Amino acid sequence: MFDLDGTITRHDTLLPYLVGFLCRHPARSLRLPQGLPALARFLLGRVDRGELKSACIRAILGGVSRNEIEAWTARFVPQVLRRGVFADSRAAIEAHRKAGDHLVLLSASPDLYVPALARALGFERSLCTGVEWHGQRLSGRLTTANRRGEEKARCLEALRRDYPLLPIIAYGNTASDLAHLKLADKGVLVNGSRVARRRAAELGIDRVLWR
């Protein structure tokens, strides 16, 4: 099980996805103030990251057609693969594939593009944050919990039921990922912060540096 942002990729993927779409549709910048109330509430601790994520998606992509989203995703994914993926993460994915392991991508990023990235990287399955559609137009509201922290731990336990008796090796990069890394048969913290590395060491989680 691999996390995406900061584990496989060198950076966050959602912000570049949204900004890239905005650059190609500059008139949509007029909608940006719609996201400011959610940002203010997030900074005050009144809403969580999922609410902020949904507000940003609605502000920039709300009402966009499925065809437009799919077309942008088809351009975005090759850009990420070309410039934004750690060589060591590709090597690890390939090593697991050659070993016959089931490959699952688990990400808090949305299903607007995560499944496409998963397919391009050769993953068997992807679990990510779901986003609502109204017919052929994007709503942007979340249809699942934000796949972060304890929610990733819940997803890991669900995978144990799907793959009974198989050990789980999980890769993540942030302190919030420790919630599920500690539940795996083997957890690996990739490029973690000093605080995350110290906590991972206390939990017996491996630490690696990927380039």
Residue whose structure tokens are 């500059």: 26
For residue 74, being part of any structural domain is answered with: yes
Q: Which residue, 210, 201, 171, is CA-closest to 189?
A: 171
Q: What is the pLDDT of residue 27?
A: 95
Cα-Cα-Cα-Cα torsion 56, 10, 77, 66, nearest 10 degrees, comes to -10
For residue 67, being part of any structural domain is answered with: yes
Give helix 66-83 / helix 114-121 axis angle, nearest 10°: 40
For residue 21, being part of any structural domain is answered with: yes
Q: What is the pLDDT of residue 62?
A: 97
What integer is the mean pLDDT of 121-141? 97
For residue 117, being part of any structural domain is answered with: yes
For residue 96, being part of any structural domain is answered with: yes
Q: For residue 143, what is the domain's CATH number?
A: 3.40.50.1000
Q: What is the pLDDT of residue 148?
A: 96
What is 83-104 written as a DSSP string?
Answer: HSB-HHHHHHHHHHHHTT---E
For residue 188, being part of any structural domain is answered with: yes
For residue 176, being part of any structural domain is answered with: yes
For residue 4, being part of any structural domain is answered with: no
Total number of domains in the chain: 1
pTM of this structure = 0.95
Domain that holds residue 138: 14-208
- Tens digits of per-residue pLDDT, 9-67? 999 999 999 999 999 999 999 999 999 999 999 999 998 999 999 999 999 999 999 99
- Tens digits of per-residue pLDDT, 149-197? 999 999 999 999 999 999 999 999 999 999 999 999 999 999 999 999 9
